[in-house]
Amino acid sequence: MALDQIEPLKQAALAELTAAEDLKALEQAKVNYLGAHGKFTALLKSLGALPKEDRPAAGKLINQVKTELEAALSSRREELELKAAMPKEATDFTLPGRRRALGKLHPLTQVTEDIVRVFRKIGFVVADGPEIEDEWHCFDALNTPADHPARDTQDTFYVDAAGEETSRQLLRTHTSSVQIRVMERQPPPIRIIAPGRVYRRDNADATHNPTFQQIEGLYVGKGVTVGDLKGTVEFVFKQLLGDEVTIRFRPHYFSYTEPSFEIDFSSPLVRKMGKDWLEIAGCGMVHPQVFENVGYDPEVWTGWAFGFGIERVAMIRYGINDIRLFYENDVRFLEQF
Separation between Cα atoms, residue 101 and residue 135, nearest integer Å: 44
Residues 255-274, interacting with ligand DAH (CB under 6 A):
256-257
Q: Return the number of the residue (196 or 282) whose C-beta is nearest ligand DAH.
A: 282
For ligand DAH, the binding residue among 307, 311, 316, 317 (CB under 6 A) is 307
Min dist. Cβ of residue 216 to ligand DAH (A):
6
Q: Which span sits near ligand DAH by CB under 6 A: 81-89, 106-114, 122-130, 254-262?
A: 254-262
Told to check if 305 binds ligand DAH by CB under 6 A, we report yes
CB 203 within 8 A of CB 218: no
How far out from the chain centre does Cα 295 lie? 40
In angstroms, what is the C-alpha Rg of the chain? Answer: 41
Distance CA 134, CA 140 (A): 9
For residue 140, the minimal CB distance to ligand DAH (Å) is 14
Q: Pick from 107, 129, 282, 303: which binds ligand DAH (CB under 6 A)?
A: 282
Three-state DSSP at 195 gives: strand
Binding segment (CB under 6 A) for ligand DAH, from list 25-33, 160-168, 299-307, 321-329 = 299-307
**DSSP string of 56-74, one letter each residue:** HHHHHHHHHHHHHHHHHHH
Asked if 287 interacts with ligand DAH (CB under 6 A), we say no
Closest Cα partner for 159 from 148, 150, 168?
Answer: 168
Check residue 216 for interaction with ligand DAH (CB under 6 A): yes
Beta carbon of residue 295, minimum distance to ligand DAH (angstroms, whole number): 19
Residue whose CB is less far from ligand DAH, 270 or 305: 305
Cβ within 8 Å of residue 296, ≥6 positions away: 183, 187, 188, 220
CB 126 within 8 A of CB 215: no
Segment 137-196, which members bind ligand DAH (CB under 6 A)? 174, 176
| Binding status of residue 303 toward ligand DAH by CB under 6 A | no
- Going by C-alpha positions, the residue among 201, 204, 213 that lies closest to residue 324 is 204
The answer to the question of residue 293 lying near ligand DAH (CB under 6 A) is no
- Asked if 283 touches ligand DAH (CB under 6 A), the answer is yes
Tell me the C-alpha distance between 209 and 326, whole Å: 10
Among 33, 219, 249, 306, binds ligand DAH (CB under 6 A): 306
Is the four-CA dihedral 129, 307, 226, 115 of positive or negative sign? Answer: positive
**Chain residues in the site for ligand DAH (CB under 6 A):** 174, 176, 216, 254, 256-257, 282-284, 305-307
